[in-house]
Amino acid sequence: MNVADTERAATRLSEAGYHLAETEDAADVVIFNTCSVRARAEQKVFTRIGEVRSYRKGREPLIGVMGCVAQLEGATIFDHAPSVNMVIGTRATDRLPALIERAMGGERRTLDLGERDAEDNWNVSTVERHSPYVAFVPIIEGCNKFCTYCIVPYSRGRERSRRVYEIVREVKRLRDEGYREVHLIGQNVNSYRPKSLEGLEDYQGATPFSRLLRAVAATGMERIKFTTSFPRDFHTDIVAAMEEHWNLCDWVHLPVQSGSDRILRAMRRGHKVSDYLRRVEAIKNAGRRIALTTDIIVGFPGETEEDFEDTMRLVEACQYDSAYIFKYSTRPGTPASKLSDDVTGAEKTARFLALERLQREIQRGIYANYVGREVSVLVEGESAKSAEDMTGHSSCHKVVNFKGNKELAGKVVRVRILEAKTNSLYGEMVTGAKAHTA
């Protein structure tokens, strides 16, 4: 989501005549796009601002803070970091050029925490996208769920779904420009609920999201991924849509957060373990193997050893392809911040490590199963580790490296897996094979 926001900000700026500086040192304006989902991410920005200030002493650039930290902290950022000139909230991205002008004109504290303008400008120019082959397409922003630990509803505001025709038009344009893969993104993509269903008449489905998936699949875009899915709103019709359309990739990210009903209730996730497992079962029973990934928080206030054991059991049962594990971090202003953060740092670390160990073990088995099999890989570029290797993602969203040359970048190739590593696969390219087999 932050990468997509940065692309959008860069587009607004290039439209206004600015261009990206070759190096940070040469920039007249430095803008930090920030995350506040955990305390550590939030602290990082102040360290970075200090760094820029010290090496640019005497020739300081204009400094702006945009994104979630900007929205939440507002004008207090100016007191906390006096070298900051601009604070740009999460819905003010489109007004960046005007804000920079105000700051350049001498305004000392330029602040915009306002709502979006009536007509959003979602346009992102090709040159500002992070990749020439993979594009992020936001379909919904904000969040109405108010899980008790989470800051997102406060930093991103209420859920707003983009119009169907706008999304479909953007995907078609990306397809025509040569993009091979799109990621439909949002805090909870499957809560997609546009004001009008116009444009989805031809596509049947139980929820607007599964209909949108079918409409996007019909554009002929080669590979379509989507993230994140909210368990409570995960209708199994999404799986049906994936079974019908080969270009809906075989990967679902379904954050469970905890394996204990008691903790899930305290988190106000709106689902029980049994509800979650039913959805997982539908995913596992699909006509082709669909990779499953998740997010888990350890050490939520009140989490006992038994609750944690429940989470371990759930992870064992779900056999995730990968999992992001986080230690609970108190976010000021959230309902959970009023509870005592009673799981000690040492306990959180111990639970984190135990869960990580279990997940690594499970992952080893899942990855080893790929050895000898073929996967379809979108080649994204040279591997950072070896100039002889190319790297990309499989349709099941695993990092795959293989011997190859730069001309392959942007192509979808078949790779036979020879070796499984902890978080990636290594293989050899297969020529003359069909593009679309699992």
Site of interaction with ligand SAH (CB under 6 A): 37-38, 149-150, 152, 187-188, 228, 230, 255, 257, 295, 297, 326, 328-329, 331
Q: Name, in order, each residue with C-beta under 8 angstroms of 387's C-beta and a sequence gap of 6 or more.
A: none
* 146: partner contacted, choices ligand SF4, ligand SAH, none (Cβ within 5-8 A by kind): ligand SF4
CB-count exposure of residue 28 (10 Å: 0-12, 13-18, 19+): exposed
* Residue 225 to residue 181: CA distance in whole angstroms: 8
* 295: partner contacted, choices ligand SF4, ligand SAH, none (Cβ within 5-8 A by kind): ligand SAH
* Residue 303 to residue 396: CA distance in whole angstroms: 33
* 328: partner contacted, choices ligand SAH, ligand SF4, none (Cβ within 5-8 A by kind): ligand SAH
**Six-digit token string for 392:** 């990309």
The residues pairing with 382 across neighbouring beta strands, listed in sequence order, are: 390
Residue with Cβ nearer ligand SF4 (187 or 376): 187
Residue with Cβ nearer ligand SAH (11 or 257): 257
Closest separation in Å from C-beta 244 to ligand SAH? 25
Closest separation in Å from C-beta 209 to ligand SAH? 14
Closest separation in Å from C-beta 411 to ligand SF4? 35
**Six-digit token string for 201:** 């008449």
In a 13 Å sphere around the CA of 233, the CA atoms on its Cβ side amount to 18
**Six-digit token string for 327:** 């230690």
Q: Site for ligand SF4 (CB under 6 A): which residue of 85, 110, 155, 188?
A: 188
Closest separation in Å from C-beta 312 to ligand SF4? 21
H or E segment to which residue 276 belongs: helix 273-284
Residue with Cβ nearer ligand SF4 (146 or 324): 146
Residue with Cβ nearer ligand SF4 (300 or 367): 300
Q: By CB under 6 A, which span of 72-80, 142-150, 274-282, 286-294 interacts with ligand SF4?
A: 142-150
Binding mask 152-181 for ligand SF4 (x = CB under 6 A): xx----------------------------
Closest separation in Å from C-beta 240 to ligand SF4? 24
Are the C-beta atoms of 420 and 406 separated by less than 8 Å? no
Amino acid symbol at 291: A
- Binding status of residue 68 toward ligand SF4 by CB under 6 A: no
* Residue 373 to residue 237: CA distance in whole angstroms: 28
- Binding status of residue 226 toward ligand SF4 by CB under 6 A: no
Are the C-beta atoms of 135 and 182 separated by less than 8 Å? yes
Amino acid symbol at 48: R
Closest separation in Å from C-beta 5 to ligand SF4? 15
Residue with Cβ nearer ligand SF4 (152 or 314): 152
Are the C-beta atoms of 82 and 105 separated by less than 8 Å? no
Are the C-beta atoms of 328 and 337 separated by less than 8 Å? no
**Six-digit token string for 52:** 């820029």
- Binding status of residue 143 toward ligand SF4 by CB under 6 A: yes
Task: Report the SS3 class of residue 111.
Answer: strand
Amino acid symbol at 293: T
Q: By CB under 6 A, which span of 27-35, 111-119, 149-157, 417-425 interacts with ligand SF4?
A: 149-157
- Binding status of residue 187 toward ligand SF4 by CB under 6 A: yes
Residue with Cβ nearer ligand SF4 (158 or 436): 158
Tokens 């991924």 label which residue? 225
H or E segment to which residue 311 belongs: helix 305-318
> Beta strands 223-227 and 140-141: pairing type?
unpaired
Closest separation in Å from C-beta 430 to ligand SF4? 39
- Binding status of residue 264 toward ligand SF4 by CB under 6 A: no
Closest separation in Å from C-beta 267 to ligand SF4? 8
Q: How many residues bind ligand SF4 (CB under 6 A)?
A: 10
Residue with Cβ nearer ligand SAH (314 or 417): 314
* Residue 237 to residue 248: CA distance in whole angstroms: 13
Closest separation in Å from C-beta 300 to ligand SF4? 12
Secondary structure letter of residue 248 according to DSSP: B
Tokens 């002493």 label which residue? 57
Closest separation in Å from C-beta 145 to ligand SF4? 4
Residue with Cβ nearer ligand SF4 (44 or 145): 145
